[in-house]
Chain A
Amino acid sequence: MSVLIYLDQSDNHIKKSAYEVLTYGSKLAAQLGTSAEALVLGTVADDLASLGKYGVAKVHQVNNENLNHVDAQLYAKIISEAVAQVSASVIVFSQSPTGKSVAARVAARLKAGLVAGAASLPDTSNGFVVRKTVFSGKAFANVSINTPIKVISLNANSISAVAGEGAATVEQMNIAVDASKIKITAVNKITGEIPLSEADIVVSGGRGLKGPENWGVLLDLAKVLGAGTACSRPVGDAHWRPHHEHVGQTGIQVAPNLYIALGISGAIQHLAGVNRSKIMVVINKDPEAPFFKAADYGIVGDLFEIVPQMTAEIKKLKGIA
């Protein structure tokens, strides 16, 4: 019996989402009266022992550079083997690109019930019931997992990472790694920007910005906030901004602490991609924009006047010249 927490890594570093799943998995292990252990696949430069701060006693690693790129087929085999070796009864993933690729395969391989997109810790008072987001964040479902082994994939920003004291034992796992059937021919990391999936703050622009040449005001605000930048679907479709910035029902779903919408009316399809944000701020010249109904703070006015003032105020607050 243990909770096994799979940690996402990329470019030899543990991802931010890993600290959230570590916290989640450790709390769950405490709730179940069992131990929390973590699993890392591939080569990682970080100090794995320090992950003990997040409540795990052991960090297992399969230190093989063939695992630095995700091959879901290979990963599922290795993770399932690790589950058997540590007798895990719950496996926790992040609902990240890696988690979306791998968690379902592991669940199917182990005939384990899966809740993907979990939003809170399971209720174990009567069975094992996990709350997950459904209908693109417009509702939650409480889902009972009815199998001895359970797989949970946790939504980003559902829990805050909590670091305490302690060091974990790092153990190399003895698991054979087959050759991957996938050959990676190119990797294009988004550099110089904060990946949307990891951004605590997102500043997003819509048609109200009137054209790609006007994005400077938005980028300035994003810069002082250390925010990721996003856009609405019409903006992506018009190629004002790159496609990977499109958030909404059919684009990327984000759940930052703060989402600032500039010149976005807030169509239901857009809200479906952002409604898990903790705080939403809307700047729009149209007082009837539906986004105001969903927002926490709003200003009705000309964003080209308001946004530079916001940037200046935040600079003052942060002591930036």
Chain B
Amino acid sequence: MKILVCISKTPDTTSKIAFTNGNTKFDEAGVTWIINPYDEWYSLVRAIEIKEKDPSTVIHLVTVGASDCEPIIRKALALGGDEAFRINADSSDSFYIAAQIAELAKQNNYDLIFTGKEAIDYNSSAIGGMIAELVDMPYISLATQFDLNANTASVTREIEGGEEVAEINLPLVVSCQKGMAEQRIPNMRGIMAARTKPLKVVEPAAIEALTSIINFELPPAKAGCKMVAADNVPELIRLLHEEAKAF
């Protein structure tokens, strides 16, 4: 079994979101970078669990980004990846990123490609579907559970108004969310081992981005919270009904 886990570097969930250069660039000052939680907690850990059950499994990691991605790649290796690829390019365009990963995937014949359900910076939920199309594999999105029986996967996925269980043969691309696995913390042995695991830097393929970010905006500041006294609940309901027209 050969699994590719796609990881993305994102600002920590508590980061202050601000922009510089006339609102064209994310302000990185004071930002702690983490592995996108969906990539780490759900897809990478599930891949590691598959390897724990079948030790012949090989887990490759890939990220598209500059050299400042390397700490998060080392952390992913410490959690349990075998080998990592950093495609040396920086882009906010989903197609560009997916096409770079698809190029790597085409060379390595993966049985499974895992992504997080979305990255917490651009929230597009697009990379998995695009990779699947570019490598011509089936795609199961928003998976909450994943089981393997030889070459057949049984995947529970979120659908409109509920969940369904799909059976499908590998190879396959899956986007992972809560339920797939539980967050882990790398242990000392993993951290030591990660130092010597291969991290290959790959130059990007010639691919054109299809979109570009013009600028960013912060939402308008809230007018402030209107406080109602605890002994005046009817006033709250009146405000919600008459002023906010919420019901």
A residues with CB within 8 A of B: 8, 10-11, 15, 69-73, 76, 95-98, 100-105, 107-109, 111-117, 129, 131-147, 181-190, 195, 197-198, 201, 225, 243-244, 246, 249-251, 253, 257-258, 268-269, 272, 275, 278-279, 281-282, 292-302, 305-306, 309-310, 313-314, 317
B41 — nearest CB in chain A belongs to which residue?
Answer: A250
B65 to chain A, nearest CB (A): 17
Name the contact of A104 in the complex, choosing from B126, B137, B227, B234 (C-beta under 8 A). Answer: B126
Instruction: From B157, B233, B247, give the contact of A258 (CB < 8 A).
Output: B247
Q: Once the chains bind, are B19 and A139 in contact (CB under 8 Å)? A: yes
A-B contact pairs, 29 of them (CB 8 A): A10-B161, A72-B129, A101-B139, A104-B98, A104-B133, A105-B129, A107-B94, A114-B124, A115-B211, A116-B94, A116-B123, A134-B216, A138-B17, A139-B19, A141-B217, A142-B213, A144-B212, A187-B164, A201-B246, A201-B247, A250-B38, A250-B41, A250-B178, A279-B246, A293-B222, A295-B225, A296-B223, A297-B227, A302-B230
Contacts of A186 in B (CB 8 A): 164-165
Q: Which listed residue (B41, B164, B227) contacts A299, Cβ 8 A? A: B227
- State whether A189 touches B227 (Cβ < 8 A): no
Q: How far is the CA of A278 from the CA of B169 in the complex (A)?
A: 43
| Contact of A182 with B168 at beta-carbon distance under 8 Å, contacts A73-B139, A293-B225, A314-B247 already known | yes
Given A100-B117, A135-B123, 17 further pairs, Cβ under 8 A? A73-B133, A73-B138, A101-B129, A104-B126, A108-B99, A131-B217, A134-B123, A146-B209, A182-B166, A253-B123, A258-B247, A269-B13, A279-B244, A293-B222, A297-B236, A298-B226, A313-B237
B127 at the interface (CB under 8 A from A): yes
With A190-B162, A299-B236 in contact, is A268–B14 under 8 Å at CB?
Answer: yes
- Interface residues of B, dominant DSSP: mixed
What is the bound-complex CA distance between A96 and B141, given in angstroms?
11
Q: A101-B129, A108-B134, A201-B246 are in contact. Are A10 and B166 (CB under 8 A)?
A: no
Is there contact, CB below 8 Å, between B130 and A140?
A: no
CB distance from A50 to the nearest CB of B (A): 21
Contact B124 A296 (CB under 8 A): no
Q: A188, B163: Cβ atoms under 8 Å? A: yes
Check B123 against A309 for contact (C-beta < 8 Å): no
Question: Which among A97, A296, A300, A309 is the interface contact of B222 at CB below 8 angstroms?
Answer: A296
CB of B80 to closest CB in A, whole Å: 20
Is B203's beta carbon under 8 Å from chain A?
Answer: no
Q: Is B125 an interface residue (CB 8 A)?
A: yes
Contacts of A184 in B (CB 8 A): 164-167
Decide yes or no whether B95 CB sits under 8 A from chain A: yes
Q: How far is the CB of A299 from chain B (nearest CB, A)?
A: 5
Identify which of A69, A73, A113, A272 contacts B95 (C-beta below 8 A).
A113
| CA of A108 to CA of B136, assembled, Å | 11
A298–B227 contact, CB under 8 A?
A: yes
Q: Are B161 and A190 in contact (CB under 8 A)?
A: yes
How would you classify the secondary structure of chain A's contact residues: helix, strand, loop or mixed?
Answer: mixed
List residues of chain A with CB within 8 A of the CB of B123. 116-117, 132-136, 253
The answer for the CA separation of A133 and B154 in the assembled complex, in Å, is: 33
Q: Does chain A have a CB within 8 A of B204? A: no
A268 touching B237 by the CB < 8 A rule?
Answer: no
Known: A184-B165, A297-B226. A105 touches B217 (CB 8 A): no
- In the complex, A138→B121 CA distance in Å? 10
Q: What separation, in Å, do the CA atoms of A107 and B127 have in the docked complex?
A: 11
**Chain A residue with the shortest CB-CB distance to B233:** A309
Q: Are A142 and B164 in touch, CB under 8 angstroms?
A: no
Instruction: Give min CB distance, B166 to chain A, whole Å.
Output: 5
Task: Flag whether B66 is at the interface (Cβ < 8 A).
Answer: no
Q: Which of B122, B133, B226 has the most chain A CB atoms closer than 10 A to its own CB?
A: B133
CB distance from B57 to the nearest CB of A (A): 23
Given contacts A107-B130, A116-B94, A300-B230, contact A141 B213 (CB under 8 A): yes
Name the B residues within 8 Å of A250 (CB-CB): 13, 37-38, 41, 178
Question: Does B159 interact with chain A (Cβ within 8 Å)?
Answer: yes
CA distance in complex: A136, B38 (Å): 13
Question: Is B240 an interface position by the 8 A CB rule?
Answer: yes
Q: Closest Cβ of chain A: how far from B151's Cβ, in Å? A: 13
Q: Is the CB–CB distance between B120 and A306 below 8 Å?
A: no
Of B157, B160, B210, the residue contacting A15 (CB under 8 A) is B160
A108 x B95 contact (CB < 8 A)? yes
Task: Tell me the bound Cα distance from A187 to B159 in angstroms.
Answer: 9
From B117, B136, B210, B225, contact of A296 by CB (8 A) = B225
Any chain A CB within 8 A of the CB of B219?
yes
A281 touches B159 (CB 8 A): no
Q: Which residues of A contact B127 (CB under 8 A)?
A: 104
A129-B214 in contact (CB<8A): yes
A140-B214 Cα distance, complex, nearest whole Å: 11
B158 within 8 A of A: yes
Is the CB–CB distance between A317 and B241 below 8 Å?
yes
**Shortest Cβ distance from residue B36 to the other chain A in the assembled complex, whole angstroms:** 10
Among all A-B residue pairs, the 8 with the closest Cβ atoms: A301-B230, A104-B129, A113-B210, A189-B162, A104-B126, A116-B124, A108-B133, A10-B160
